[in-house]
Structure 1
Amino acid sequence: MNIIALIALAFAMSMDAFAAAIVQGVHKRTVSVATALKVGVTFGATEMLTPIVGYFVGRFAQTWVESFDHWLSFILLAGIGIHLIYETLGNQGDEIPKPTSFAKTLLTAFATSIDAMIVGVSLAFLEVNIWLAGALIGLTTFLMTSLGVSVGATLGKKVGKIAQMMGGVVLIAIGVFILVTHLLDV
């Protein structure tokens, strides 16, 4: 996976966290720089670690699934992308919890990073530097959530839904790219 695909993946993985951060910002009247950075670090660290954990789980299982790994990557990424789009279209209310404490922020960060763990599993079947991928995902999520919580009150809930849908579309595109490039190489 080249650096452009990793950057696109990092942005896609950060979109649900960005949407959650916007919702946090919507619930607050003012957001200090310190608060935005705390939210960013919490989400960024969580999003950095979960794909690394998923990667090592996937590496462990690699010998059993090498013959269909490209299909597995495609199904996992496309499935997550479709789920993000479906969740966004079906979410008429505000289902993301209103974090008022560090524990709730951490819980929200973990909830939005479960998909990153699954992506980490799919990355185990590709030639990827997982440390670079994890760092890019974590840094991008840090930046996006710090920004999201800062501007959430101004932009409102609609931008959060658009960001989450864009993340879903990018994940589907990456899954299709992995599948097509593997099928053309075989």
Structure 2
Amino acid sequence: MQEILIGLVVALDVVALYLLLPTVKQRFLLSLWTALLHMLFPIIGFTIGSMMVALLMQWSNVISSIILFFIGLHLILSTQNRQINPIPVSILAISASLDTFSVSVSFGMLNLQKYLFIASAGIWTFFLSYISLTIARKGQRKYKGNSLKWIAGISLMLFSIYALVNN
């Protein structure tokens, strides 16, 4: 269950970003591309995280909790002074998905269910990306997504503390 919730939390960051992009013409393609990358980067991250467990078995829980905590903190701090410049769809999808790599390294170190998280992250990201791009296109820009970044950041920080305390 936690893998499904974390997949949703990871997708919230993309929603916050994509709500600011009213002029994206290829919404479906961008949503699909971002969802696929939200699945690819965790595969790489889980692999590296699993290898790190073998090397750092005694410290993996502490390290992964610290990584998750600082990713959550980064999400919260990134709500300040954001500027969006027009960039290609592929670059936008990659930059919106890179954080799933670092999150999944932590999950690989915690030995969570890899495929459940990957499927959850991809499905949530696709649907939420498309919905947020559609909302942004319709001109409903009064919402800037900061609260979603705060929710995602605090959720990752709380999960990191939970993982640290329960191991």
Q: TM-score, normalised by structure 1?
A: 0.82
| C-alpha separation in 2, matches of 1:96 and 1:52 | 28
Deviation at 1:43, TM superposition (A): 0.9
Would you say the 8 A contact 1:36–1:147 is kept in 2? no
Quick check: 1:83–1:168 contact (8 Å CA) kept in 2?
yes
CA distance in 1, matches of 2:160, 2:130: 28
Q: Alpha-carbon deviation of 1:134?
A: 0.8
- Structure 2 matches for 1:16-165, cutoff 5 A? 16-25=13-22, 27=23, 35-88=26-79, 90-91=80-81, 94-99=82-87, 104-153=88-137, 154-156=139-141, 158-165=143-150
Would the aligned equivalents of 1:97 and 1:108 in 2 still touch at CA under 8 Å?
no
Amino acid at match of 1:67: Q
> Are 2:52 and 2:109, in contact at CA under 8 Å, matched by a contact in 1?
no
Task: Quote how far apart the aligned CAs of 1:96 are.
Answer: 3.1
Letter in 2 for 1:115: D
State the Cα deviation string for residues 152-179 of structure 1 (Å, max 9, x = none).
1443153422222221111111111111
Shift of 1:71: 1.0
Whole-Å Cα distance in 2 between the matches of residues 17 and 139 of structure 1? Answer: 13
For residues 20 and 144 of structure 2, what CA distance do their matches in structure 1 show? 10
Q: Report sequence identity in percent.
A: 23
- Secondary structure at the aligned position of 2:86 is classed as coil
How far off is 1:48 after superposition?
1.0
Q: Max radius of gyration: which structure?
A: 1
Q: CA RMSD for the aligned pairs?
A: 1.7
CA distance, structure 1, for counterparts of residue 43 and residue 91 of structure 2: 19
Preserved CA contact (<8 Å) 1:14 1:140 = yes
Higher deviation after alignment, 149-158 or 44-53: 149-158
Aligned mates of 1:122, 1:96 — CA distance in 2: 29
Return structure 1 stretches of 4+ with deviation > 4 angstroms: none
**What is the letter of the counterpart of residue 14 of structure 2?**
A
Amino acid at match of 2:84: I
Please state whether the residue corresponding to 1:96 is helix, strand or coil.
coil
Q: Structure 1 CA distance, aligned partners of 2:166 and 2:109? A: 14
The amino acid across from 1:122 in the alignment is S
Query: What secondary structure does 2:57 align onto?
Result: helix
Output the CA distance in 2 between the equivalents of 1:80 and 1:95: 20
Gaps of 5+ in 2: none
Structure 1 residue ranges without an equivalent (≥5): none
Relative distance call for 1:97 and 1:37 in structure 2 (3 A) is same
Q: Distance in 2 between matches of 1:181 and 1:138?
A: 27
